[in-house]
Amino acid sequence: MHSMQELSAEPGITFDLAVIGSGPGGYEAALRAAKAGMKVCIIEKAALGGVCINWGCIPTKALLRSAEVFDLFKKADSFGLKLQPGTIDLAEAVKRSRNVALKMSKGVAFMLRRAGVDVRQGEAVFSTPHDLDIFRDGVRVDGVSARHIIIASGAHPRALPGLEPDGTRIITSREALALKSVPASMIVVGGGAIGVEMAWFYAMAGSEVTLVELMPRLLPLEDEEIAEVLKRSLQKAGITVVTSAKLESVSIEGDKVTAQLVSEANDSQLLTADYLLVAVGVSANITGLGLENTGVETSRGFIVTDSVCRTSVSHIFAIGDVRGGMLLAHKASAEAVIAVHSIAGIPCHSLDDSLIPRCVYAEPSVASIGLSEKEAEDRGYKVRVGRSMFAASGKANAFGNLEGLVKLVFSAADGRLLGAHVVGHGAVELIGELTLARRLSVTAEILAGTIHAHPTLSETIKEAAENALQE
């Protein structure tokens, strides 16, 4: 590793590594590099932990937990509990969610401090390929020079023309995480993970929700069968789900939003709601970084990198959402390890997308890894598919959560697991075993022959593997 002597030999270079952004990619990179003996600085313009901890993964899961409790409360009778009808205090649920986020952010600050990482507050802008100016409120307050730089600046919600958020009636998930009271009605545009989670939360809280997706199905990147089960379940929860449709002529009139809902068949209907939540993906945070002063190449709004996260400038790396690909916190953390290993000269494997799990935290939740049935067939595999319904599970029946299934896709030639897809209560916790199975190229025989505890939801995985072998 670089020694301090080496550092001082290069005039003006004060750090081995500077990291821009303290989200799950940035803080992981800073911690790893510090542990490897590098002198590290991290620059963050907002709260430590980035969007994930402060306005994304963590607070949404805390709110979704409140929604699960609301939902259970409504079903209390079926569990033999006699309760007075309750009311939802959204402000309290939001307060709890903010406290969870704050606790996690403080945890990141503590870990960085303990690792000896120098934390600088402000916006980082490249002045040269090795030098960063730090701005607060448009004023330069600081500057650092580093031998290596990792850009982990994340992304922000994407705006659609005609659906630009105004923060009051047309909102993004960020405003939706801090509403003071439950709106009577809400339109959610975008049937990906964030749109589905927000639609489900507000429906559980008592809003009348319409969920609009441009593609023919919700979660367009997931297995078709799984997306269909989720859609039926959301409809059962009272959400109006409209696919192959878009919004036009959006306008704000008083404290309402109105829009024309235009479907593929060109049918049009007028929708009115208290809020319009736009959840149509994200755009990378690359403007304002001063990339024009570095020679770092970008393409279609993301930073171009090689398989070890290196940009077109050899000492500058990019990880997480700013790099593109799957926009997931755990992908950013995995890329942090790869980038730091590359800088330290430690050989490492590049990231394999088929080993990255994907999760949606509504109820039922959705979790998947690897190829869908159709993707596997499109790639020329002969497949064996195994299914097992949670309705047949003793634990699911005892729990009162019968919806959903485990669907496993195996190669017919050698029995290896190619993809796993779960929709149901606790799906996001079941994906761990399937991720390991995918990582170790486990076969249907091995999964079917593994003794699972009874009664558990995880037995459904074993049963799906058995089902594939019976085909």
**Mapping DSSP to helix (H, G, I), strand (E, B) and coil, where does residue 261 land?**
strand
Instruction: Report how far residue 351's alpha carbon sits from residue 389's, in angstroms, rounded to the nearest whole number.
Output: 32
Show which residues are catalytic: 454
Could you tell me the pTM of the whole model? Answer: 0.95
pLDDT digits (tens, 9 = 90+) for 344-364: 999 999 999 999 999 999 999
Q: 329 with 52: CB under 8 angstroms?
A: yes
**Which sequence spans correspond to the domains of the chain?**
4-156+283-353, 170-280, 364-470
Question: Which of 35-49, 115-129, 258-272, 385-399 shows the lowest mean pLDDT across its residues?
Answer: 258-272
Instruction: Report how far residue 203's alpha carbon sits from residue 16's, in angstroms, rounded to the nearest whole number.
Output: 49
Q: What is the pLDDT of residue 5?
A: 40
Which tokens belong to 253?
């009139």
Instruction: Report how far residue 124's alpha carbon sits from residue 43's, in angstroms, rounded to the nearest whole number.
Output: 7
Q: Is pLDDT at 10 greater than 80 in this prediction?
A: no
Q: 17 with 40: CB under 8 angstroms?
A: yes
pLDDT digits (tens, 9 = 90+) for 191-203: 999 999 999 999 9
Alpha helices for 75-183 (secondary structure H): 90-114, 173-176
pLDDT digits (tens, 9 = 90+) for 329-344: 999 999 999 999 999 9
Query: What average pLDDT does the segment 206-229 reach?
Result: 97
Which tokens belong to 158?
């994407």
Q: Is pLDDT at 266 greater than 90 in this prediction?
A: no
From 66, 48, 54, select the one nearest 99 (Cα to Cα): 54
Share of the chain above pLDDT 70, in %: 98
Q: Is pLDDT at 31 greater than 50 in this prediction?
A: yes
Query: What average pLDDT does the segment 209-218 reach?
Result: 97
Strands (E), 285-351: 298-299, 302-303, 316-318
Q: Quick check: do 4-156+283-353 and 170-280 share a fold?
A: yes
User: In terms of CATH, what superfamily is 4-156+283-353?
Assistant: FAD/NAD(P)-binding domain (3.50.50.60)
CATH 3.40.640.10 fits 170-280, yes or no: no
Q: What is the pLDDT of residue 12?
A: 80
pLDDT digits (tens, 9 = 90+) for 149-181: 999 999 999 999 999 999 899 999 999 999 999
Interior/surface letters 188-203, b for 16+ CB within 10 angstroms, e for the rest: bbbbbbbbbbbbbbbb
Q: 76 φ, ψ to 5°?
A: -50, -40
pLDDT digits (tens, 9 = 90+) for 366-389: 999 999 999 999 999 999 999 999
Share of the chain above pLDDT 90, in %: 95
From 334, 280, 3, select the one nearest 158 (Cα to Cα): 280
Q: Give the residue carrying structure tokens 């600088």.
A: 120
In CATH, the number for domain 364-470 is 3.30.390.30
Q: What is the pLDDT of residue 4?
A: 40
Q: 284 with 311: CB under 8 angstroms?
A: no
Q: Give the residue carrying structure tokens 């800088």.
A: 343
